[in-house]
Amino acid sequence: MQADPTTAYRTVLARIAAAAGGAGVDPSTVRLLAVSKAKPAAAIRTLAQAGQRAFGENYLQEAAAKIDALADLALEWHFIGHLQSNKCGEVARRFDWVQSVDRPRLVALLSAARTPDRPLNVLVQVNIDDEASKSGCAPADLPALAAAVASAPGLRLRGLMAIPAPAQDPARRRAAFAAMRGLFEALRRDHPDVDTLSMGMSEDFELAIAEGATMVRVGTALFGARPAASG
Ligand SMILES: *Cc1c(COP(=O)(O)O)cnc(C)c1O
């Protein structure tokens, strides 16, 4: 539980900087995405006033209300939840990034809602080791899906996102992050402009940074625990 999100924010930023330093990378190259699902607009506003700009949301209706309530702030919104095809149009219009593109059908639906002068930033979500999860493309399907995103006129391919299986021992989790780094390096050979590897959450973001994450998605460590039903 965090009583003061501003204090928690400074602590998380310091931990990111320390982990980046330990990994030998410039701390400014690791971005923090503040995951605000199940948290009120007022909590987002407090963090924005402390300097945070990028926020992640999982559910369109919940996010839309907060995006409207905070329209006076120049925030950057990332959709990180499971994406249904019938929501693609509104997600593409309301969000700046979508991190959960995991099947070819979503590509044209998202692209159609944007224009080439204002493309939607896209990460392809990879199912790196969680056989129970229905989200994320198989690593074998990644090259074709990434190529489809890269050639869609309304989209800009920025990189990869992963959510490793929960409740793993640290060695297995580290292996999943390392496998993502390998996929990211291979992707960059085909798409040199790609710059974002989104992995690591409250429990393991330092480990993810050690394995090359350029964006970590942190909710609980910033805002405190969520009600169990909200995931
Ligand atoms: C909820 C969520 C997070 C943040 O998880 P915490 O453990 O609260 O930091 C990160 N990424 C995704 C995709 C999420 O759904």
Tens-digit pLDDT profile for residues 151-164: 999 999 999 999 99
Give the pLDDT score at 134.
84
Nearest CA to ligand 1 atom 7: 202
37 lines ligand 1 (CB under 6 A): yes
3-state secondary structure of 162: strand
Atom number of ligand 1 nearest to Cα 161 = 13
User: For residue 116, how far is its CA from the centre of ligand 1 (angstroms)?
Assistant: 30
pLDDT score for 212: 98
Q: Measured from the CB, is residue 35 less than 6 Å from ligand 1?
A: yes
Distance (Å) from CA 117 to ligand 1 centroid: 31
State the pLDDT confidence band at 231, using cuts at 50, 70 and 90. Answer: very low
Q: Which atom of ligand 1 lies nearest, measured to the CA of 221?
A: 9
Under DSSP, the state recorded for 153 is T
Average pLDDT score, the chain: 95
SS3 59: coil
Residue 55 has pLDDT above 80, yes or no: yes
Identify the band that residue 229 occupies on the pLDDT scale cut at 50, 70 and 90. low
Four-point Cα dihedral 31, 106, 190, 139, nearest 10: 90
Give me ligand 1 centre to Cα 201, in Å. 6
CA of 219 to the centre of ligand 1 (A): 6
The answer on pLDDT for 140 being more than 50 is yes
- Residue 207 near residue 173, CB atoms below 8 Å: yes
Q: From CA 158, how far away is CA 108, in angstroms rounded?
A: 17
**3-state DSSP assignment of residue 114:** coil
User: Looking up tokens 């198989």, which residue turns up?
Assistant: 138
**Gap from CA of 41 to ligand 1 centroid (Å):** 17
